A and B are shown apart, each in its own frame.
Chain A
């Protein structure tokens, strides 16, 4: 197998990377062709699905086991020997989560132009990573992001706050990844969701536990290759069928014209390409979301720590560029994917879809609706079978099903597109393997970021500075397993707000870490009290806005009603519901409160800013507090100023030298 030489000498492996991963890619394509042949020979779909998922996880496990290590430098930063281009690929897999792979095109399908805020936000942030942060952290030579905060802002308090921010933004994110692996395994392997979550967990641990960053790096490269192939093939397929030209990104223009014509025929007023009009994204929220996602990208510890692994500062900069190129390949395909899927659906509806012929034309809908009621709804009810559709549409007085009558869940669109467009089952299996690769690779990076912060920053630096190497690595692995099990447990309870929480991670990271990281490099006058106050204030304001508008909406609205953009009608409705709650009998109180709370969530805001963009407040507060407090307190010592001078210059050794094993 292509991965055997991982076991051979390090230098040997690194110098042969190109050959190894070329053979690996060829092997994967051959595997897809083999599956297609087996499928044509009549092997059942379920077996094909098992083989896709089983074979890819087996490869990751083999790489993970071959890359095991007992050296601190290898475990935390892969020995700092990862070439820029491979680190870029690994960052791509690290970055593109289950949500990007599974949910992004679906969001674009539903939100049209306004969904592009995610595409812009999740790519443009790398500009900030490259110019403001990553090369300097690489020069410093940290193992973790809190390491840098501690050295720059003298002491464990800054380190500890950094760990808290890191933990709160990474943990919810990793829960979402394990949740995604559970969903995919449940749908394609037919496992029970609770079992599927723990199967996903095993897949994650086997990649990261034995080899730390070193193993995660080489599996992430392998996972990137799987996920990008799995994403491109269906898009190329649809483009070829619809337009005859296999370049979906280019032919998207034709798809947009097709969509516009069919939307007009369907009487849909707000078209796919119309800006600032879908899902409550006015121009203000559109631009604030872009800003929060971009700044969050440049602050998320599991992304920043990937640049600790390059051999030099110069390679770190080039590596950011490669990362973005590899991410770009998926993100500029996503809008095309969405456009072709939407065009296909509009075509289906325009061909005269009725409750009578839906079983012939789109039976795939029934399978998804059966898996989960909320995934496919027609005329407002779950489309479990033709009879259910006929009943629901009969009730609504619909004879010809229109586009507006069909309600697809954003998270199923990518996974269901192969069936929607009539592709063979092999493509569905491939897409499942790709979604799994995306979720597993991100989960690995996040788990490692959390476990490293706990073992390196809390245990080694704050509790036992004399811990021997072997014990540090054991502690690290035990913590990794514990955090992973905790995350899998939370995922198995199916927390309702899981997707919202992922978006929150960006705002929390941006508000909590960005000012301290950027000013730490670019402003010598920034000092310890300023950074600590700035991190607490920025993170605090952001958290207050997130939690207040979501979980304490009634109280939040009453306190800040002057800043809310509620219309007079909405205010009247709020007063009415509040009176109803006050007057409700004891047994009706819960329902009255739920109605009041639900309405309050729609009006609890400052100047109409969505809760997704909470860093819009936390970020400026963080910068301002950090500036003012730094100015009011003593400037950093001359040793620290020299330290910053050294940080800014690529030449020379890393500043934090670790005694290695």
Chain B
């Protein structure tokens, strides 16, 4: 594999990593900093701030990871470094 390809591959991989990291910070921390105001909104009995910590962020993490596995695999294939 050519050096340029390696750099290109790693740049894309790193970009995806930072996207995931940003989403992780958002769902792990940022959204819960607004819990008091979010609790004003009540859906199906759930105060929204409580809901985000009990279920919402967890769902986001699971979806993120399946999305990441697909996305990273697409990058691998694009640069021809996927496993056979």
User: Chain A contacts of B61 at CB under 8 A?
Assistant: 123-124, 126-127, 324, 328
Instruction: Evaluate contact between A273 and B29: CB separation under 8 angstroms.
Output: no
User: Chain B contacts of A324 at CB under 8 A?
Assistant: 61-62, 65
User: Chain B contacts of A321 at CB under 8 A?
Assistant: 62, 65-66, 68-69
Instruction: Evaluate contact between A294 and B28: CB separation under 8 angstroms.
Output: yes
Query: For the complex, what is the distance from the CA of A277 to the CA of B71, rounded to whole Å?
Result: 40
**A645: Cβ under 8 A from any B Cβ:** yes
Instruction: Evaluate contact between B35 and A275: CB separation under 8 angstroms.
Output: yes
Instruction: Evaluate contact between A650 and B81: CB separation under 8 angstroms.
Output: yes
**B28-46 interface (Cβ within 8 A of A):** 28-29, 32-33, 35-36, 39, 43-46
B interface with A by C-beta (< 8 Å): 1, 6, 9-10, 13-14, 16-17, 20-21, 23-24, 27-29, 32-33, 35-36, 39, 43-47, 49-51, 53-55, 57-59, 61-62, 64-66, 68-69, 72-73, 76, 80-84
Among B27, B33, B36, B50, point to the contact of A124 (Cβ < 8 A).
B27
Q: Which 4 A-B pairs have the closest CB atoms?
A: A253-B45, A321-B65, A116-B53, A335-B54
User: Chain B contacts of A283 at CB under 8 A?
Assistant: 33
Query: For the complex, what is the distance from the CA of A229 to the CA of B73, rounded to whole Å?
Result: 33
Q: Mark A265-302, 1 if CB is under 8 A from B, else 0.
A: 00000000101000000010011001100100000000
Instruction: Evaluate contact between A275 and B36: CB separation under 8 angstroms.
Output: yes
Q: Mark A638-655, 1 if CB is under 8 A from B, else 0.
A: 000000010011110000
User: Chain B contacts of A255 at CB under 8 A?
Assistant: 45
Instruction: Evaluate contact between A256 and B45: CB separation under 8 angstroms.
Output: yes
Instruction: Evaluate contact between A120 and B28: CB separation under 8 angstroms.
Output: yes
Instruction: Evaluate contact between B54 and A116: CB separation under 8 angstroms.
Output: yes
User: Chain A contacts of B62 at CB under 8 A?
Assistant: 321, 324-325, 328
Chain B residue with the shortest CB-CB distance to A274: B39
**A373: Cβ under 8 A from any B Cβ:** no
A interface with B by C-beta (< 8 Å): 113, 116, 119-120, 123-124, 126-128, 130-132, 135, 249-250, 252-257, 273, 275, 283, 286-287, 290-291, 294, 312-314, 317-318, 320-321, 324-325, 328, 331-332, 335-336, 522, 645, 648-651
Chain A: interface secondary structure?
helix
User: Chain B contacts of A257 at CB under 8 A?
Assistant: 45
Chain A residue with the shortest CB-CB distance to B24: A127
Instruction: Evaluate contact between A290 and B28: CB separation under 8 angstroms.
Output: yes
User: Chain B contacts of A317 at CB under 8 A?
Assistant: 68-69, 72-73
Instruction: Evaluate contact between A119 and B68: CB separation under 8 angstroms.
Output: no
Query: For the complex, what is the distance from the CA of A255 to the CA of B59, rounded to whole Å?
Result: 21
Instruction: Evaluate contact between B55 and A120: CB separation under 8 angstroms.
Output: no
Query: For the complex, what is the distance from the CA of A469 to the CA of B77, rounded to whole Å?
Result: 38
> Closest approach, in angstroms, between the C-beta of B14 and any C-beta of chain A?
8
User: Chain B contacts of A332 at CB under 8 A?
Assistant: 54-55, 58-59
Query: For the complex, what is the distance from the CA of A355 to the CA of B16, rounded to whole Å?
Result: 61
Chain B: interface secondary structure?
helix
Query: For the complex, what is the distance from the CA of A48 to the CA of B76, rounded to whole Å?
Result: 53
User: Chain A contacts of B83 at CB under 8 A?
Assistant: 312-314, 650-651
User: Chain B contacts of A290 at CB under 8 A?
Assistant: 28-29, 32
Among B9, B13, B47, point to the contact of A273 (Cβ < 8 A).
B47
User: Chain A contacts of B72 at CB under 8 A?
Assistant: 135, 317
User: Chain B contacts of A249 at CB under 8 A?
Assistant: 55
> Closest approach, in angstroms, between the C-beta of A319 and any C-beta of chain B?
9
> Closest approach, in angstroms, between the C-beta of B79 and any C-beta of chain A?
9
Instruction: Evaluate contact between A130 and B65: CB separation under 8 angstroms.
Output: yes
Among A128, A312, A318, point to the contact of B24 (Cβ < 8 A).
A128
Given A253-B45, A256-B46, A650-B81, A120–B32 Cβ distance below 8 Å? yes
Instruction: Evaluate contact between B24 and A124: CB separation under 8 angstroms.
Output: yes
Instruction: Evaluate contact between A650 and B65: CB separation under 8 angstroms.
Output: no
User: Chain B contacts of A287 at CB under 8 A?
Assistant: 29, 32-33
Query: For the complex, what is the distance from the CA of A21 to the CA of B83, rounded to whole Å?
Result: 28
Query: For the complex, what is the distance from the CA of A291 to the CA of B62, rounded to whole Å?
Result: 18
> Closest approach, in angstroms, between the C-beta of B44 and any C-beta of chain A?
4
Instruction: Evaluate contact between B54 and A119: CB separation under 8 angstroms.
Output: yes
Mind listing 22 A-B residue pairs with CB under 8 Å?
A113-B53, A116-B54, A123-B58, A124-B24, A124-B28, A130-B20, A130-B68, A132-B17, A252-B45, A252-B46, A253-B46, A256-B50, A273-B47, A273-B49, A314-B69, A318-B69, A320-B65, A321-B68, A328-B58, A648-B13, A649-B1, A650-B82
User: Chain A contacts of B76 at CB under 8 A?
Assistant: 314, 650-651
Knowing that A253-B45, A291-B29 are A-B contacts, what are 5 other residue pairs whose CB atoms are under 8 Å apart, sorted by A's residue number? A127-B61, A130-B69, A253-B43, A317-B68, A324-B65
Instruction: Evaluate contact between A275 and B49: CB separation under 8 angstroms.
Output: yes
Given A113-B50, A120-B32, A126-B61, A649–B81 Cβ distance below 8 Å? yes
Among B46, B49, B53, point to the contact of A120 (Cβ < 8 A).
B53
Query: For the complex, what is the distance from the CA of A498 to the CA of B58, rounded to whole Å?
Result: 28
Query: For the complex, what is the distance from the CA of A324 to the CA of B15, rounded to whole Å?
Result: 23
Query: For the complex, what is the distance from the CA of A113 to the CA of B55, rounded to whole Å?
Result: 12
User: Chain B contacts of A135 at CB under 8 A?
Assistant: 72
User: Chain B contacts of A331 at CB under 8 A?
Assistant: 58
User: Chain A contacts of B45 at CB under 8 A?
Assistant: 252-257
Query: For the complex, what is the distance from the CA of A314 to the CA of B55, rounded to whole Å?
Result: 28
User: Chain B contacts of A312 at CB under 8 A?
Assistant: 83
Most buried by A among B9, B51, B58, B76: B58
User: Chain B contacts of A273 at CB under 8 A?
Assistant: 39, 47, 49-50
Among B6, B9, B35, B55, point to the contact of A335 (Cβ < 8 A).
B55
User: Chain A contacts of B29 at CB under 8 A?
Assistant: 287, 290-291
> Closest approach, in angstroms, between the C-beta of A273 and any C-beta of chain B?
5
Query: For the complex, what is the distance from the CA of A607 to the CA of B25, rounded to whole Å?
Result: 23
User: Chain B contacts of A286 at CB under 8 A?
Assistant: 32
Query: For the complex, what is the distance from the CA of A633 to the CA of B14, rounded to whole Å?
Result: 26
Query: For the complex, what is the distance from the CA of A123 to the CA of B81, rounded to whole Å?
Result: 30
